Amino acid sequence: MLRFENVGLRYGLGAEIIRDATFNIAPQSFQFLTGPSGAGKTSLLRLMLLSLKPSRGQITIFDQDAANLDNTKLTNVRRRIGVVFQDFRLLDHLTTYENVALPLLVQGRAASAYRDEVIELLKWVGLGERIDALPAVLSGGEKQRAAIARALVGRPELLLADEPTGNVDPEMAWRLLRLFVELHKSGTAVVIATHDLTLIDEFRAVRKLIITDGHVLVRSEDRE
Amino acid sequence: MTLHVMRVRSRSTSLIPHDSVAGRSLTVVIAILTFLACLAAGGAVLLGEASAAWRSDVSKEVTVQIKPTSGEDADADVEKVLNAARASPLVLAVRALGRDETERSLAPWLGSGLDLSELPIPRLVVVTLAGHDSDQIAELRARVLESAPNVVFDDHAIWLTHLSTVGRSLTLFVFLLFALVVAAIAIAVGVATRAAIADAREIVEVLHFVGASDEFITSHFQQSFFRISAEGASIGGGAAMLLFVLGQFLFSRGGPEDAEAMTVLLGAFHLPLHGYIAIVAVCVLLVAMTAVFSRLIAAANLRRIY
């Protein structure tokens, strides 16, 4: 589904922050991406999302070389990926409902076809009473859940989440992770970036991508 | 849930917030430019109508001037001219202007209330023609000059040439003005679109990440600019129409002498229906151009953000 081969990334003329990254994200897999703060987790996720171009190496996504994707193909690839940003990236002038429905709206689907589905999802993440609220009046946790709902609503084949439980209490964190697991069971490959090792241990992840000194190490633990 | 659904239905989603489009200032700029373009269009129609009326009046008339020369009997010459003109098949009507009438016709240039009795004002014979046939006019000229060799036969050819030149110049001026307005709008919309995309860069990025195509995003920018330009064009075009209506009203309220003088000089200040249609067409054209410009510029700038 997603393959990195000897991928390196540097910003400008600086040192490489990701070096020789070689790994594979298989369909329907579940993995945590971890490492200390500032190790490059977000940069690696942005490479996976194709919002950054690697300085070297090759990224293959959905059997296509990322370097050869034109705008139309890139758009089609992104429609197959759900993403949760660390800073949520909700559009401030849209309501919670509109933000969550955005991936469906941009695909040109009729609002009547997805309205109930979006409202149902919002209720599931505990935002049933905040449907018409603008992001400015949402708490950090509510924004987080709205961002997660937006990533899930299009039933993506690959979900990339950057610190998705960073702003919620442990109970909600566990609930959200269960949501990711459910999504994984329904066929979505999930990559969750977090520096919370306790959470990873509690969750009994089977695969970890660990970034240290710019290198990506893959650890698989058969504990599920 | 029903309440929520109703609320969701009632809100029309605009993905590009109007604040980020520098909407108000652009609305004002488009309103001003549209106002100028509409004034130019309305003025062109007004002048075109006046020019056509002038040309029609002038080309269907011939004026014979009998200058007061010492030793000549002006009244006898007038009679000879009248008889000669009546004999021509081209002549529809012919009449000699009395002195009072001649003095009144000079009022727009010399002012009213003056004693002109001491001035050697020529006698005028106005010949109304059935058409404008050059050969027949030449024959009429020969006939009149044969009967009264000292008179001046004026078929207004010089005036017609001047009026045609003025008409062409005004048309060219209007086109130039319109081209300048279009260029100004293109520049204003270009700057505003680039500013809007810069302001909305984060929005554009999010839209890209959730799978929006460039076409989808540019269409939303286009919708925003369409709304802004429609608002500006409505204000500018409406103001221009109001000005023409007000001008006509004020013109008609003026005293009869003022109105007559203005009519002689400029023609009637009355914008016909097709003048108002021209103003609406200008507004529609400018709105359409704004929408197209914004789309093209947005598409070109989005490629850099990808």
The per-residue pLDDT for B72 is 66
Structure-derived torsion over alpha carbons of residues A74, A80, A81, A82, reported in degrees to the nearest 10: 130
Instruction: Provide CB contacts within 8 A for B201, sequence distance 6+.
Output: B305
Domain boundaries, chain B: 2-55+160-305, 68-150
Query: Distances in Å between the alpha carbon of B302 and those of B12, B87, B102, B199?
Result: 24, 79, 72, 13
Residues 214-243, chain B, touching A (beta carbon < 8 A): 214, 216
| CB contact A102 to B (< 8 Å) | yes
Which residue type does B174 have?
V
The per-residue pLDDT for B1 is 42
Q: With CB atoms and an 8 Å threshold, state whether B7 touches A131.
A: yes
In this structure, what DSSP letter does residue B122 have?
P
pLDDT band at A201 (very low <50, low <70, confident <90, very high): confident
Residues of A in contact with B15 (CB under 8 A): 91, 94
Which residue type does B83 have?
N
Q: With CB atoms and an 8 Å threshold, state whether A107 touches B211.
A: yes
Report the alpha-carbon distance of residue B43 to residue A67 in Å, rounded. 58
Structure tokens at A171: 């109970």
Among the listed residues B85, B62, B60, the one whose alpha carbon sits nearest the alpha carbon of residue B148: B85
| CB contact A83 to B (< 8 Å) | yes
pLDDT band at B261 (very low <50, low <70, confident <90, very high): low
Q: What are residue A61's DSSP bridge partners?
A: A2, A64
The per-residue pLDDT for B306 is 52
Neighbours of B135 (CB within 10 A): 8
Residues 138-157, chain A, touching B (beta carbon < 8 A): 150, 154
State the count of interchain CB pairs (< 8 A) between A and B.
Answer: 72
pLDDT band at B71 (very low <50, low <70, confident <90, very high): low
Instruction: Provide CB contacts within 8 A for B221, sequence distance 6+.
Output: B16, B193, B196, B197, B294, B295, B298
Helix and strand counts by DSSP (H, E) for chain B: 10, 4
Mean pLDDT of B184-195: 82
Is ipTM beyond 0.90? no
Q: Could you report how far apart the first and last alpha carbons of chain B are, in Å?
A: 38
Report the alpha-carbon distance of residue B37 to residue B283 in Å, rounded. 9
Residues of A in contact with B206 (CB under 8 A): 89, 91, 102
Asked if pLDDT for residue B258 goes beyond 80, the answer is no
Residues of A in contact with B205 (CB under 8 A): 51, 89
- The residue in chain A having the minimum alpha-carbon distance to the alpha carbon of residue B299 is A71
Report the alpha-carbon distance of residue B47 to residue B269 in Å, rounded. 9
Q: What are phi and psi of A113, to 5 degrees?
A: -80, -25
Structure confidence by residue, pLDDT tens digits, A5-55: 999 999 888 888 999 999 999 998 999 998 888 888 889 999 999 988 999
Min Cα–Cα distance to chain B from A211, Å:
24
Q: What are residue A158's DSSP bridge partners?
A: A81, A189
Report the alpha-carbon distance of residue B282 to residue A51 in Å, rounded. 43
| CB contact A200 to B (< 8 Å) | no
Sheet containing A30-34: order of strands? A81-84, A158-162, A189-193, A30-34, A207-212, A215-220
Q: With CB atoms and an 8 Å threshold, state whether B13 touches A115.
A: no
Average pLDDT, chain B: 80
Residues of A in contact with B203 (CB under 8 A): 91
Report the alpha-carbon distance of residue B161 to residue A114 in Å, rounded. 71
**Which of A177-181, B101-105, B171-175, B222-226 has maximum average pLDDT?**
B222-226
The per-residue pLDDT for A82 is 93
Q: pTM for this structure?
A: 0.70
Which of A103, A108, A116 lies nearest to residue B210, judging by beta carbons?
Answer: A103
Asked if pLDDT for residue B284 goes beyond 90, the answer is yes
The per-residue pLDDT for A179 is 80
Structure tokens at B152: 């001046």
Is A45 within 8 Å of A56 (Cβ atoms)? no
The per-residue pLDDT for B262 is 61
The per-residue pLDDT for A224 is 41
Residues 143-202, chain B, touching A (beta carbon < 8 A): 202
- Three-state SS at A16: strand
In this structure, what DSSP letter does residue B123 have?
E
Placement of tokens 């200008």 in the chain: B282
Probe site for chain A from B7, B18, B204, B209 (most A CB atoms < 10 A):
B209
Structure confidence by residue, pLDDT tens digits, A142-199: 898 899 999 999 889 999 999 888 767 777 777 778 888 888 888 899 999 988 777 7
Among the ranges given (A96-105, A138-147, B8-17), the one the predictor scored with the smallest mean pLDDT: B8-17
Structure tokens at B187: 């520049």
Instruction: Provide CB contacts within 8 A for A134, sequence distance 6+.
Output: A92, A93, A94, A95, A96
Q: With CB atoms and an 8 Å threshold, state whether B205 touches A51.
A: yes
b/e sequence B58-91, b meaning 16+ C-beta within 10 Å: bbebbbbebeeeeeeeeeebbebbbebbeebebb
- For residue A126, count CB atoms less than 10 angstroms from its CB and return exposed for 0-12, middle for 13-18, buried for 19 or more: middle
Report the alpha-carbon distance of residue B45 to residue B51 in Å, rounded. 10
Instruction: Provide CB contacts within 8 A for A145, sequence distance 6+.
Output: A125, A126, A127, A168, A172, A176
Structure tokens at A187: 């066929």
Probe site for chain B from A69, A72, A97 (most B CB atoms < 10 A):
A97
**Which of A57-66, B10-19, B264-273 has maximum average pLDDT?**
A57-66
